Structure 1
Amino acid sequence: MFRGFISDAAVCMSICVMGVFLCFLSGRCGSGQFQCNNGQCINTEWRCDGTKDCTDDSDELNCPPPSCSSQEFKCVTSGECIPQGFVCDGEEDCIDGSDEERSCGGRTCSPDQFTCQEGQCIPKKYRCDHVKDCVDNSDENNCNYPSCTEKTCANGACYNNSQHCNGLQDCRDGSDEFNCTTQHCPIHQYQCTNGYCIPQSFVCDHWDDCGDNSDEQGCVYQSCSGSEFTCTSGRCIPQRWVCDHFNDCGDYSDERGCDSDSRDCYPGEWGCPGSPVCIHMDKVCDGKPDCPGGTDETNSTAQQTCSHDRCSALSCEYGCHLSPQGGTCYCPDGFIVANDSRSCVDYDDCKIWGICDQLCEDRPGTHHCSCANGYFLEQGHVCKANISGNVVIVTLVVPVGVVFWSVKPW
């Protein structure tokens, strides 16, 4: 949820996360909700489900390891369970390929891996790190754990003082990033009383962007003149800014009822000017024409030069990429640029064909894949039929949405 969209369930608190402003519910979360370490509220069912829904990933921390049955194999990194029949079948079913890294057909572990007693291969750095990665826990046997001289992870591992709250997960359980409150805002940003960072332009704009209202303290608000438009929030903007495809009000009240010619490109893509074609943002101004007519590159004839000249004026919420128009805003994974050409809004990932094999649930900034009964989810998005007797049910999905069911001998 982004700036300008307020939940009616409670007071909305706008928080800057990696330059993106997310709306969190302040205070306690409601029944059926889990409160993230940063105060964000999510569905309780999303806790420890393998998908990181909290922006600080706290919904997937300190989760009990999934228990696999005697007929299943536990993948090393993800911890997901797959049927034993999928192990050593020549196909990697685990994301890390651990189901094919065991002593399959006489194969042995590589020099940079540790061989568990039952033959499983894991990264050598996982040996004696306070986390049980081997199915038989042999990677944590006969360990001489050192005494921590600086800081200790929740699981007992050691890390340095400089690694505490540095934005990187140095403890495998993520505990080195717990309870981090110290924050220093970059230049051109305002530091709220609660430590959050917001753009200077958001100060005294009739919006509680900080969440503690510190950005609206001591402000003198003026009445709008006859040549100005009064936003719903009370902000004044020039009349010529109304219906100009920019969210100048911050609450979109100056763009309501206006026709929009915005494109519907996938996250991480850029719409080619004058064409419905979308290309990856990395291909814009890379010296190679990818759009029809080469509109993604410098064109001296059309007076289009790849640069960042417009970036300061755009005030992008997340980041600005060079473009032939002098810069264009882009958003993190799972979000697209809104009609104002500056802010980021959530994109329904489930609209991307093939992102999940069967069932897809869209979530803010991410998505969650699942499978129908009789199927196993592997690698986070692939559904594989469960082995039952001597037949395997095979599902073939074609782009037009027709599904064929058939059986074949195993």
Structure 2
Amino acid sequence: MDETDCGLCRTAQFQCPNGRCIPQAQVCDSVCDCQPSCGDERANCADYYEGLPGLAVCRKRKSIACNKSNRCIRQEFICDGSDDCQDGGTDEFQCHTSPSASVTFSNLSTVTTGFRCSDGRYLPVHTKCDLQRHCLLGEDERVCRLSPCSANQSTCLSGECIDSALLCNGVPDCRDNSDELNCLEYECPPDKFKCATSGQCVNQAKVCDFNIDCTLDSSDEPDNCTYKHTPCDILEFRCDNGQCISSEYRCRVSVDSLKHGCLDESHIKDCGGVQCDGVQWLKCRNGPCYHVSLQCNGLPDCYKASRTWTDEEGCPFQCASAAKCVCMDVTMECRDTGLTALPEYVEPSITKYRLSGNRLNHTLSVRSFEGLHRLTLLDLSANDIMELPNGRPFATLWQLRVLVLRKNGISRLRKELFYGLANVRVLDLAENYIEIVEERAFTGLSSLPQLDLSRQLISHLPAASFLGLRSLLSLNLSGNPLQYFDVDTFLGLPQLVTLDLSSSVHWNAVRFTGEAFRHLPALTHLYTSDARLCCSIGGKVPHCYPKLDHFSSCSDLMSNRILRTSIWLMGTIAVVANAVVIVWRLPGVRRSRIHAFLIINLAVGDIIMGVYLLIIAGADLHYRGTYIFYYDVWKSSGWCKAAGVFSTVSSELSIFTLLLITLDRLLTILLPFHIDLRLSYASARIAVLLLWISVWTIALIPLLPLPYFQNFYGRSGVCLALHITPDRSPGWEYAVFIFLGLNMLACVLIILSYAGMYGVALRTHRAVEPSPQKSRQEARLARRMVLIVLTSLACYLPLSIMSLLALAGVSMPEEVSPRPSLQIKCKN
């Protein structure tokens, strides 16, 4: 500790003569921090206090007295955000807690019942007229009724009465320390010794007793003391005060050394290099050896010698009146101990207070945590707390960083419940049953970056619900049955970036407009439960989710004009052109030509796809400009389901008919003499019948009343079953299995079949005498095969790639995503 903060001091620090850096607030505070020179308590300190260091009276209008540390804190360090008193925050108590400019001193209303000092602090009422000046200007001691002192009493500067025999005894008996002023003029009783510099009176028995009682000049231990001229034995150690002790106590801390060691404790100085045996004697960090019997005895025996707690590190100790609670360092553990009320006494130096898993329910009061100014963590989770105390129960916890209230039955957050928690960074309210959030409920949480109110029971949010959360970046309100919130609900959230209202605000339950977000200038990401809510705010939030889908806009089912025109054109061509194909090929069917029969099946499949495209085009025309209002009506309609069935039937019928044709060609080329293996007209009819039954079954299964599928074809405005978005919509595994699994397998078989056919044809051509004409025929054959393969790939490979990317969580750009509706029309 003697080397702490040594080196070049910062601007806000003072450098002691020994090189140590201390805060500027500790200069002229009446406590000697620059040991041993006391360079921080210089001659000009008389402007701030009167008297001796440690026994000073703080000067009115210049400094205030700390409650427990005897320091005088100068005006400029009051309410500066730092605990300069080092007593839990006397100089920071309730600084600027009220938005009003002033509070009359006669106002003794709640929170803390109290009054405002002119220095900015708001003090409890019990500090008024308590014979000790707390306010810088002394307002707390004005107009106070004082009783006269008796003949054998003396009057302190504050008006307090003390026994006259207590004057100048070196101990502050007046609350303001004024009984130790002007002691040089005071005549000590005959049995007392008068200190030369300070004038304090000490018992004659304390003269030449090895202890310095006259702290300023050591005049009670003069040079003529006998022990200072008596040499020590060879087995003795001379203490700094001249005392001789046995050398066995040198650099050792034990019960015996406390009795027989140096009274000035110099026998445990400069012991950093001493080795301990590690069995009976253990090492204080950078200090002497302490006896093993002192370990975990509840007393910091190493502290005086090395300014460490080595002997108490990791040791539980009693720090509260509740025996069930265990303390480790500055953490108080009362978890799952069956407490039904808070301990009556808690050590004020505790910084972490863990109370989860008890039954504190209705026993908390507005004063439950008064006096625990140093708390940085408070865990009240799982305590069956149905309602927090009315008022400001956390108002004095100005250093708190983490407040845990999860797993309680809290149903209401009252106005200014979190008042005073300006440094809280984590507020955990999960797993409660919050129904009511009153206006300004979160006032005071000015440093909170995130607030999670998800999965509660909040149905109404009044104006100014979140006022005071000026540092909030993320607000999660998902999973609440929100039915109403005011246009000023989000007032006071200037830095909010992300707002999550998913599974919370419903289209038919709440009026949702851009006006609701006028107080959120930094909002960039909004998550809602319905894409139509994003439409209703008119683009006032850059990133609003979910989007309608990749095909539609807020006004139109088909947002892309080119796509809108193309779908009419392709639908019409598909129906008309394939009808012509059927008429053209019918004579071949009458002659039992298998090829014509299969081509007609392909044409029928294409007509079905044309019908699908015309249904979508018609719906787009019908809802043009008003799509947002009929979004759910269309996607859950029978027309959308029919369109989805038609697209699936057409797609699967086409790919598997192509596969059937390809396999027949392959067998013809590979096994030209095995006529029995080729398709006959009868077998072709049976195969096509089975194919039709299969594709209609595949298309109709999602219409079964199964929870797994829900609105399978209504996942997008164009009623496609394709899985081309990262969203895991109901039935997505089924779509992946059909369109990625089966279709990809069919494409691979088609490509391999044509590759095999090309190989056989090439070998056949080369078996005949080569000629330039044969080479040209081979080239034409190769080009034809490549064209067939590339056509198959161009139709289905992009869809497969998009499905794979969707499974990997990749979103397609909006200009790419509508293309599957066109690509699915591609056929050989």
Name the TM-score class by shorter chain.
0.3 to 0.5
Normalised to the residue count of structure 2, the TM-score between the two structures is 0.21
Compare relative contact order (CA 8 Å, sep 6+) and give the higher one, 1 or 2.
Answer: 1
Normalised to the residue count of structure 1, the TM-score between the two structures is 0.35
- Of structures 1 and 2, the larger Rg is shown by 2
Higher strand share: 1
